[in-house]
Structure 1
Amino acid sequence: MSLTFLILAVGVKEKLEKNVELMKDSVSYVGGKTVDVHYVSYNVSYDGYKITKYLETSCDTNKANIIVIIGESKITTDIEAMSIISRVVSRTKSDKTLTSAISELETILQAVLPLAVCGIRKKTLILNMFGECLTAAISLQANQERLLQIIDIIQLMQNNTTNKSLACDTPKPCSILKIKHIEKFKETLFPMISVTQAIKIICEKIIKGNEEIEHECVSVHVACGRILSKDIYSECNVPSFRTSAKCGYAIKANDGENIKKILNAESSIEPGTCIFVKTGAPIPDEATAVVQVENTKEVIKECDDNNTDDIEEEKEEKEEEIEIIIQPKEGENIRPIGYEIKKKDLILEEHKRIGPAEIGLLTYCGVSEVVVIKHQVVGIISIGDELEEPGEILKIKHDYDSSRLILITLLKQQDFDSLDFGITNDNMEDIKNGTNCSKKSYIEVIEAQKLIRDAIIQSNEEIESECVRVQDAYGRILLKDIYSKYNVPSFKASAKHGYAIKANDKKNIKKILRAGTSSLKPGTCIWVKTGAPIPHEATAVVQVENTKIIKKECVNNNTDDIEEEKEEKEEEIEIIIQPKEGENIRPIGYEIKKKDLILEEHKRIGPAEIGLLTYCGVSEVVVIKHQVVGIISIGDELEEPGEILKIKHDYDSSRLILITLLKQQDFDSLDFGITNDNMVSIISKIEEALEKVNVLVTIGSANDKDLLKPILKGYFNATIHFGIFFSSY
């Protein structure tokens, strides 16, 4: 069935032409045809009779199935339009299906167009859709099936009725059916859903789009935050050598020798010899078992040479042996090659976001490059006439646009590229166009952090700082306390839905003024919502439930003068319970007062802090300059990812994990690579690094032959505050 539409536009024609075209497009979308467009002056009070006459004539001559009324949303205008439509339309009581269908449509429309009205006259459905035209157009499209259902019912009733009409020739005024809260009609055009449901819908839309996903190949070094485009498999066995499952001695099992000489780590094992190994350490190729320390007994032989003529001979030669108490079985306490991860094992699945742990795993498994989904650029637009950029002078009843900066910061936190399109006005056209040194002293991580912090403070070095825009302050650390520049909110606000009045003016009957009225006088009131600004003269807000609406109508029937051909209408309320002075009024700055402390020094700025700074009108902050952190790996058994892994060597995953963690915390880092475990190489690399960085981090194995602490203390005259730290978690 084809639907025909009439569009009645209330307001200035030049301003409404684009809105009418938008509504025509929506009519075409639902399979309908626009047969006429009629414009009426904005002042409904003066031109109400024109609307009434047009509606009655159009309905009586059956010019279209549906009449849609659109116009700019004004509280008084909408109320008057509702009254006019009430006098034109009627609702049949003989067909419950039709009444139910119209009521349901009205309830749904009112969720997005609060004062929407639906009704019928004869064969025509009338829809008052005052408000934002874009919302009205979308609502029309979304309710296509309901419109068809209602028109079908109306036509069916007309075909089955003889000598009767759906409405009287001279319809009597009747009130629009007041829709009470009925659970079955609790439905909206844009229903509220959970975040999980929203994410699911977005994912489904992306999958159904069938668009080819762009990807690129990147180095593991720069892959933090990226999303894998395909499964990743290990390039090597991990570990690439046999390791000891216990602290003990690597031996040739069952060689018939219970007494074994302890050799140094680089020696080859022969019958009657052994080498000490730690848990997880590589074991010699000749070893066939590891005997635990508790299953051995130490045997010491000493031979002293007391010849003091030669300094080189003034030494104590010492040999160590062990006696095995419990013989291990073949292969006991030996972990095979690849016992953690075998070559070509699946290590990461497609669509996995890469974080520090994933960087470490990829490096550990010899993966040097990964295929990832290309960065998606996210654009952010704020819509509203009452929003201001931070740094601008805050106008009355305006707020700073904190939500946009919070969202941009959250996107940055998740490693998304974002484009800030700023603030656009709340109108359709603008919307359309629209970051002892050898001693191993074990301490907790928290204690280590405290020692570092204390050492920095005691150094008394001047902290370098810089001033940055709030938009660029994510992840930075404040140098000093921050205070609010403005009162928040900057106006008196209503604590309840109700009417702003002058309290104690001894008038219980009050006339409702338009929202834009310049002043509030005794005997008048203005409707306000919770949190909305109230007029300067108001001294209280009376809640809706403590009032009763009174309507007065006076019709001037003198038709000699066009100016007098108007319906004058006033709305008044009666106050049942008088409010006290100041009742339901929140003062200026009730959330945050001007010059209140909002953030303390040394606070790291995150999304919440960005929002708070913007909300309080702070456009710039003084932060500590970025500290450059250098990373050096020390070890002869370390290899870069991508290189061929030598026997008893590991890929240097720890360094890349640390670099990634620093990047995640918004620190600048310099990678000085791997240096050999000898004094000359270590000193040279540290000297190079100290010329370029503020903080230097060295990583590598810590053992009894550790050269780093003697170098730091002896060569660089450094103070050793602690040795090794651990976490109890």
Structure 2
Amino acid sequence: MKTVEQALEILKNYAKNKQEIETVDIQFCLGRVIAKDICSTVNIPPYDNSAMDGFAINHHIGQAEVEISQRIPAGTSPKPLKENTAARIFTGAFIPQGADCVVIQEQCEIKDNKVDIFAKAVIGQNIRKQGEDVQIGDIVLKKGQKIRPQDMGMLASIGINKIAVYKKITVAFFSTGDELIEPGNELTKGKIYNSNRWTLLGLLQTMNINILDLGIIKDDFQSTKNALETASKKADIIISTGGVSVGEEDYVKSALENLGELMMYKVKMKPGKPFTLGLIDSSYFLGLPGNPVSAFTVFNLFARPFITQCMGSNYQIQTQEVITNFAWNRKGERREYARAKLINGKAEIYHSQSSGVLSSTIWADGLVIIMEESIIKKGDKITFIPFNQWGC
């Protein structure tokens, strides 16, 4: 059984980006992973321009009444500024030659074709200098970054409409268990609704990947083997929920060993101990536990970073230190990830930490990490992992 740190290190070592590069329009690039550093070929701003509506002058004029010699809206090309005059200028407009500052209109008074400037002028005030945001040759976005809405705006601001990204990876997933039925069907004796399928689908949909949903697989060796074999021919990564424990009706692990290689089995954590990593031909296999909370937790702590790294991007789980408003009096050999909620800035835990209580993930807004052999007192500091980083 691996520790959490050992499991993360093993996953990191195996997570390789094997995707080809394609070019996409920025209209379709949100969430994609950049395949090459993107450098600017222009300065932003491209020229000195006014940060405010007002009057462009040379600071030597000082506080004086002067002639308004020209009007400069944004998008026009100004003439050189006549000596001892002012130019009416608007936000974003080109600073004329001879002007070295802009006095905002609230500090001036217009009188016919003249302006009375009654504020002190300082060189460079209210002027956005050429290249003060981005200069020619600057790397504006780096290889491996996932593109966000603000990145799309930056690409447009430097004149780029197409970029090189890694092709999307394909993740296939299925659930195992003869007790499972889909929502919409009558719940008969001995059956339960398949919640894991829909939780996992939602989690995968937050990652901007191609998803292959194989549904529910029967609890027998041949059906499990066939599902794995089919998925390995179509997907870069295969994920299953259930069937990786040690029960007589759990066939995923044995089918995996028959078809490929088992590289890791079991992690010293709770919930989520029977997490599995394997390889079938060139497709990775991630086996998640069947209990709903275990599947949710293990996906976000292990599968999400692994998938992200296979996409060509780096991944770091975001954590924060908080104060506890609960006590934890039982020492455990395994690291525990308890569903928790921040109330008035302090962490409280759900009344049931059973791995089958999916409602705890609805109530919670994160997980607190209870280290091995730990006792927690009210007021102690603890590490909190917020759900919102996962879109949860």
TM-score normalised by the chain length of structure 2: 0.59
Distance 2:117 2:193 in 1: 80
Structure-2 change in CA distance of 1:506 and 1:611 (3 Å)? closer
Indicate yes or no: 2:210 matched with 1:649.
no
Displacement of 1:512 after TM fit?
0.2
Unaligned runs of 5+ in 2: 73-77, 267-273, 276-293, 298-336, 339-366, 368-392
Displacement of 1:698 after TM fit?
1.0
1:257-656 counterparts in 2 under 5 A? 443=4, 451-457=10-16, 462-504=18-60, 508-516=64-72, 518-544=79-105, 549-551=110-112, 571-575=113-117, 579-656=121-198
Displacement of 1:589 after TM fit?
2.0
Counterpart of 1:480, as a letter, is K
Q: Secondary structure at the match of 1:669?
A: strand
Distance 1:576 1:644 in 2: 80
Q: Secondary structure at the match of 2:234?
A: coil
Distance 2:68 2:138 in 1: 38
Distance 2:167 2:80 in 1: 52
Q: Secondary structure at the match of 1:659?
A: helix
Indicate yes or no: 2:246 matched with 1:704.
yes
- Give CA deviations for 1:358-395 in whole Å, capped at 9, x if unaligned: xxxxxxxxxxxxxxxxxxxxxxxxxxxxxxxxxxxxxx
Distance 2:120 2:154 in 1: 37
Distance 2:203 2:107 in 1: 59
Counterpart of 2:11, as a letter, is I
Larger radius of gyration: 1
Structure-2 change in CA distance of 1:627 and 1:483 (3 Å)? same
Counterpart in the other structure of 1:713? 257
- Assess if the C-alpha contact under 8 Å between 2:175 and 2:240 holds in 1: yes
- Give CA deviations for 1:191-223 in whole Å, capped at 9, x if unaligned: xxxxxxxxxxxxxxxxxxxxxxxxxxxxxxxxx
Counterpart in the other structure of 2:210? 668
- Assess if the C-alpha contact under 8 Å between 2:42 and 2:136 holds in 1: yes
Considering Cα pairs closer than 8 Å and 6+ residues apart, tell me whether 1 or 2 has the greater RCO: 2
Q: Secondary structure at the match of 1:591?
A: coil
- Give CA deviations for 1:131-169 in whole Å, capped at 9, x if unaligned: xxxxxxxxxxxxxxxxxxxxxxxxxxxxxxxxxxxxxxx
- Assess if the C-alpha contact under 8 Å between 2:169 and 2:236 holds in 1: yes
Q: Judging by fraction of residues, say which structure has more helix.
A: 1
- Assess if the C-alpha contact under 8 Å between 2:229 and 2:259 holds in 1: no
Q: Secondary structure at the match of 1:467?
A: strand
Indicate yes or no: 2:233 matched with 1:691.
yes
Counterpart of 1:717, as a letter, is E
Distance 2:149 2:47 in 1: 26
Q: Secondary structure at the match of 1:504?
A: helix
Identity of aligned residues (%): 29
Counterpart of 1:697, as a letter, is I
Q: Secondary structure at the match of 1:720?
A: strand
Structure-2 change in CA distance of 1:495 and 1:710 (3 Å)? same
Distance 1:500 1:465 in 2: 48
Structure-2 change in CA distance of 1:513 and 1:663 (3 Å)? same
Aligned pairs, how many? 266
Displacement of 1:644 after TM fit?
4.6
Counterpart of 2:85, as a letter, is T
- Give CA deviations for 1:624-678 in whole Å, capped at 9, x if unaligned: 1111111121222222344454421222221132123323433221122222222
Distance 2:182 2:32 in 1: 32
Distance 2:205 2:44 in 1: 35
Structure-2 change in CA distance of 1:548 and 1:691 (3 Å)? closer
Structure-2 change in CA distance of 1:549 and 1:639 (3 Å)? closer
Structure-2 change in CA distance of 1:545 and 1:708 (3 Å)? closer
- Give CA deviations for 1:290-326 in whole Å, capped at 9, x if unaligned: xxxxxxxxxxxxxxxxxxxxxxxxxxxxxxxxxxxxx
1:8-19 counterparts in 2 under 5 A? none
- Give CA deviations for 1:42-73 in whole Å, capped at 9, x if unaligned: xxxxxxxxxxxxxxxxxxxxxxxxxxxxxxxx
Counterpart in the other structure of 2:328? none
Displacement of 1:721 after TM fit?
6.0
Counterpart of 2:24, as a letter, is V
- Give CA deviations for 1:410-436 in whole Å, capped at 9, x if unaligned: xxxxxxxxxxxxxxxxxxxxxxxxxxx
Q: Secondary structure at the match of 2:200?
A: helix
- Assess if the C-alpha contact under 8 Å between 1:539 and 1:581 holds in 2: yes
Structure-2 change in CA distance of 1:535 and 1:721 (3 Å)? farther
Displacement of 1:608 after TM fit?
2.4
- Assess if the C-alpha contact under 8 Å between 2:56 and 2:101 holds in 1: yes
Displacement of 1:534 after TM fit?
2.0
1:40-189 counterparts in 2 under 5 A? none
- Assess if the C-alpha contact under 8 Å between 2:45 and 2:128 holds in 1: no
Give RMSD over aligned pairs. 3.1
After TM superposition, the structure 1 stretch with the greater mean CA deviation from structure 2, 680-689 or 474-483, is: 474-483
Distance 1:647 1:549 in 2: 85
- Assess if the C-alpha contact under 8 Å between 1:507 and 1:522 holds in 2: no
Distance 1:602 1:614 in 2: 19
Counterpart in the other structure of 1:679? 221
Q: Secondary structure at the match of 1:623?
A: strand
Distance 1:653 1:597 in 2: 44
Distance 1:682 1:661 in 2: 23
Counterpart of 1:521, as a letter, is K
Q: Secondary structure at the match of 2:130?
A: coil
